[in-house]
Amino acid sequence: MFVLLIVLSAVFICLRRRRKFTNLFRQPDIENEEDKNVGTLLFDLSTIGTATNNFSDTNKLGEGGFGSVYKGVLPNSQEIAVKRLSAGSKQGLLEFKNEVVFLAKLQHRNLVRLLGFCLEHEEMLLVYEFLYNTSLDKFLFDPMKNRLLDWGRRYNIIEGIARGLLYLHQDSPLKIIHRDLKTNNVLLDQYMNPKISDFGLAKLFDEDKTRGIASRIAGTYGYMAPEYAIHGHISTKSDVFSFGVLVLEIVTGRRITDFTGSGYAANLLSYAWKHWNAGKALHLMDRSLGDQYDRQEASRCIHMGLLCVQEDRTKRPSMELVVLMLSGHSVTVSTPSVPAYLVQGSATTEVDVDSGNRNSNPPNGESSYQCEEKSNSVSINDVTISEVGPR
């Protein structure tokens, strides 16, 4: 009798878990976006297990907040990357659903491609195209590998990320805010082309909505826009802020948090702002580049990055305007205003990148909050685009 109860209990638990997985794509917050496309992506566990050598450590590519990623090879010799989400995690379930539902519908050369998924024996597996060069942070912040990122590649990466975001915000079948754009969520293929990944925190918006309030604030410190991090207000301009941080990281080769506790600046945004105000924006350039970069493109990226990280979200450009700027179109853009997270008390400290010296006041007696960087402005003649509020 005791054994029978154990067996019945086990059957009940299995059925309940299977029902949980079955209902995963029937939850109302995605509103029937789980159409027939999702059903065609199903993999069986044995196939993935064989492909990854039963998830061996030698196949492990890395580990994230929701689980581990493994390299695998399918029977047809196709290489894949398999994300194995942590079992029993509510966040894991939400991430799984978002990834499958969104990526099943999204097709863009600058978004990672989902090949399929598996829900079997409590396993939650996502199968992606395999990208040879893993993530951007592995190159950008490595003192040896960053030399492989010459200026042409960096500019191409910035432009590709911008086009991917524009697709999510405006051109895709769904209107999506990514919410977790950062260097390790940008993957690189064998030609160093960027692909935005990790849609676990992504938020779906109705076509006629431009903003909302998140029920749960989640993301990565330094990349979250202040209105989202503090008040939960979310919009496409939240992603624009994260993109601006990324641009400044790519240009400088420094992490957003590199200056914490340094005495030079509170963070990369403050550091970049001081150089911009001092008329020395190009001193921000990654030293590994030497002088091998296009000065006009570099100035354009720094200007654009500072526009994207402005504290006032209504002043940040849309991704449509950003793509126009990067494509070399002549557009009228404003001078950047104060970036978010600027520490007021250190605003008058100037940092000289070349000498490492710090002066108590900005040059020429200018206020540290004046922005008169004429040489770094994007030149403007042919097309004028004005933005007075959120899209």
At residue 244 the predicted structure's pLDDT band, cuts being 50, 70 and 90, is: very high
Instruction: Write the pLDDT tens digit of every residue in 321-340.
Output: 999 999 988 888 899 999 99
Report the alpha-carbon distance of residue 268 to residue 222 in Å, rounded.
9
**pLDDT given for residue 180 in this prediction:** 93
Q: Is 374 annotated as a binding residue?
A: no
User: Backbone phi, then psi, for 126, in 5-degree steps?
Assistant: -120, 130
Residue 71: exposed, middle, or buried by beta-carbon count in 10 A (0-12, 13-18, 19+)? middle
Report the alpha-carbon distance of residue 215 to residue 28 in Å, rounded.
15
Domain ranges for the chain = 9-129, 136-376
The contacts of residue 270 (CB under 8 Å, 6+ apart) are 259, 339, 341, 342, 343, 346, 347
Of the chain, the end-to-end C-alpha distance in Å amounts to 66
Would you tell me which CATH number, out of the four given (1.10.10.10, 1.10.510.10, 1.10.3720.10, 2.40.128.50), belongs to the domain 136-376?
1.10.510.10
Report the alpha-carbon distance of residue 310 to residue 342 in Å, rounded.
10
Give me the mean pLDDT over the 9-31 stretch: 47
Give yes or no: 180 in active site. Answer: yes
Give me the mean pLDDT over the 28-56 stretch: 76
CA distances from 41 to 37, 44, 80, 298, 385 (A): 7, 10, 14, 42, 42
User: Model's pTM, two decimal places?
Assistant: 0.79
Reply yes or no on whether the pLDDT at 346 is more than 50.
no
- Topology adopted by domain 9-129: Phosphorylase Kinase; domain 1 (3.30.200)
Locate all alpha helices (DSSP H) within 67-123, ordered by sequence: 90-105
The contacts of residue 170 (CB under 8 Å, 6+ apart) are 319, 320
Signed CA dihedral, 203, 209, 210, 216: sign only = negative
**Which of residues 368 and 270 earns the better pLDDT score?**
270
List the catalytic residue out of 35, 137, 180, 352.
180
Reply yes or no on whether the pLDDT at 379 is more than 70.
no
Give the percent of the chain with pLDDT over 70.
Answer: 72
To which H or E segment does residue 3 belong? helix 2-22
